Amino acid sequence: MTQTVNFSEQLSLRARALLHSLGAEVPEPGPLLARTPISGGVLLPLAVDAPAEVDAAIGRAATAFESWRAVPAPVRAGLVRRLAQLLVAHQDELAELVTLEAGKIGAEALGEVQEMIDVCEFAIGLSRQLYGATMPSERPGHRLMETWHPLGVVGVISAFNFPVAVWAWNTAIALVCGDTVVWKPSETTPLTALACHTLLRRAAVDMGADPAVHQLIQGDATVGSALVDDGRVALVSATGSVRMGATVAPRVAARFGRCLLELGGNNAAIVAPSADLDLAVRGIVFAAAGTAGQRCTSLRRLIAHRSIADQLVERLAAAYGQLSVGNPLDDGVLVGPLINERAFAAMQKALAGSVAEGGDIICGGERVETLGPDAYYVRPALVRMPAQTELVREETFAPILYVLTYDELDEAIALNNGVTQGLSSSIFTLDQREAEQFLAGSDCGIANVNIGTSGAEIGGAFGGEKNTGGGRESGSDSWKAYMRRATNTVNYSTELPLAQGIHFG
């Protein structure tokens, strides 16, 4: 036990050193405990923002918006460009802080920071492409067009599993669009939020911009509630559970605000008889076991053709047996810890329920005792199920992969669509007809061919349908969520004709 305490103290000292190297002041102590899932110990205690402080932060963002909106978009991009430069300079330190707080292995943590850099580059280019449309007018001497304008204060509520990337998706684009941002991060990952906030404030100072364009508020759900209910917040972009989204959406709608929701995923991959099984096994294992199954795009359901199901399960079980589970700071580790005890308990409950419903646990599910009683490491589980039961239709945020079988592709697509979530999906096939049928039939916001369900690029809009919330972030035309559209008619004639041929007086 003494060894565990000492190790936790080492991690705490390392977190302080990383904050210092990133230019962030060690926060005042308070009731918010930043823990590390690596050991279960406390990294730092932080103060939470009282209601008056949250109100003041939103007020500062609202005031800053009035001047920020008037800055030309390509000039606004200078702030995002400087942020990207700072992220490049501090990628290693920020990634290590992500590992300490979220438990991601080094490669995934570095990849998350790279994703921030990538979306900054996307936003910089976007600053010269906030295009409106010009339409032909039915009235002579008139021009009909659309223009896009800054929306206002954007409230960002992020989750622990991508503690920095999701913030960057929203913030880089919102800033270029002329909005200001108030960020409420997960109370599980407050230190990474503090580091990002510090880097953005530094970028603002370097570029002569108003640092008030970004505000950080820390605390539990009550802090997020203030953001949700405040009429000064034009858009609430919330990432989290379906239950959270069901609470947020009607409250924002009640005040006629906008919502951008990224909620749960219960993602499936179909493996057809023609699939390249070597490719499929690699894609499936990464999608199901990466980040210890704690991605919204993690693979949770495998729908295999009956003719190849036994062979596929055998190969997956062998691959699972080779996965190294342990301290994500160590080289060679592929699966880090679950975020906390609650996640572990949910996984064990789901596994017990799968057996009660006739399932067969092929491998995994057991806890790995490595770094003390307060750290929760598990072996990813592979479970064959006789049918898509109610349990399988629920999302368990842990590394459980349920295996189902099918005979006809229509049946497989129906299984893929037979859940309330609609985030990500994929098929492994070398048959073009099957691939096209799947792409047309999947009801998810993301549908892939011959890759897994996770690992989205920033160039494509990210998001899902049904209970996933319908939001789109990051690439493509997702910028439109952060702006308001105006239809403009310009009369450059000396007449005043009315539309639809109406004659008045």
Same domain, 257 and 298: no
- 256 and 276 inside one domain: no
Considering the domain architecture, whether residues 285 and 200 belong to the same structural domain is answered as no
Question: How many other C-beta atoms are found inside a 10 Å radius of the C-beta of residue 205?
Answer: 12
Is residue 31 in a domain?
Answer: no
By the 8 A CB rule, do 362 and 309 touch?
no
Please state the rounded mean pLDDT for residues 432-439: 98
Closest C-alpha to 337, from 325, 350, 329, 321: 325
- The answer to whether residue 246 sits within a structural domain is yes
Average pLDDT over residues 5-21: 93
Q: Which tokens hold the place of 452?
A: 């897994």
Q: Which domain holds residue 442?
A: 267-449
- Residue 12 included in any domain: no
Measured distance CA(255)–CA(234) in Å, rounded: 10
Among 132, 125, 169, 172, which Cα is nearest to 149's? Answer: 132
In a shared domain, residues 399 and 250: no
303 with 199, same domain: the answer is: no
- Both 420 and 325 in a single domain? yes
Residues 473 and 385 in one domain: no
Active centre residues (catalytic): 262
User: What contacts 489, CB < 8 A, 6 or more positions away?
Assistant: 137, 142, 143, 144
Q: Is 141 helix (H, G, I), strand (E, B) or coil?
A: coil
Between 3-17, 417-431, 443-457, the lowest mean confidence (pLDDT) is in: 3-17
- 371 shares a domain with 309: yes
The answer to whether residue 74 sits within a structural domain is yes
162 & 206 share domain: yes
Is 410 contained in some domain? yes
Q: Is residue 463 part of a domain?
A: no
Separation between Cα atoms, residue 142 and residue 495, nearest integer Å: 10
**pLDDT of 5 over the 80 cut:** no
The answer, yes or no, to whether residue 1 has pLDDT greater than 70, is no
d(CA 313, CA 318): 9
Phi, psi of 474 (to 5 degrees): 80, -105
Do residues 216 and 324 both lie within one domain? no
- Asked if residue 493 is part of any domain, the answer here is no
> At 86, which CATH number?
3.40.605.10
How far is Cα 69 from Cα 315, in angstroms, rounded to an integer? 56
pLDDT band at 198 (very low <50, low <70, confident <90, very high): very high
**Looking at the 3D structure of the chain, how many domains does it have?**
2
Rg (CA), the chain: 24
Structural domain contains residue 40: no
* 145 & 255 share domain: yes
Here the CATH number for the domain that contains residue 340 is 3.40.309.10
Task: Give residue-wise pLDDT tens across range 31-90.
Answer: 999 999 999 999 999 999 999 999 999 999 999 999 999 999 999 999 999 999 999 999
Q: Among the listed ranges 20-24, 26-30, 78-82, 314-318, which one has the minimum average pLDDT value?
A: 26-30
Do 243 and 315 lie in a common domain? no
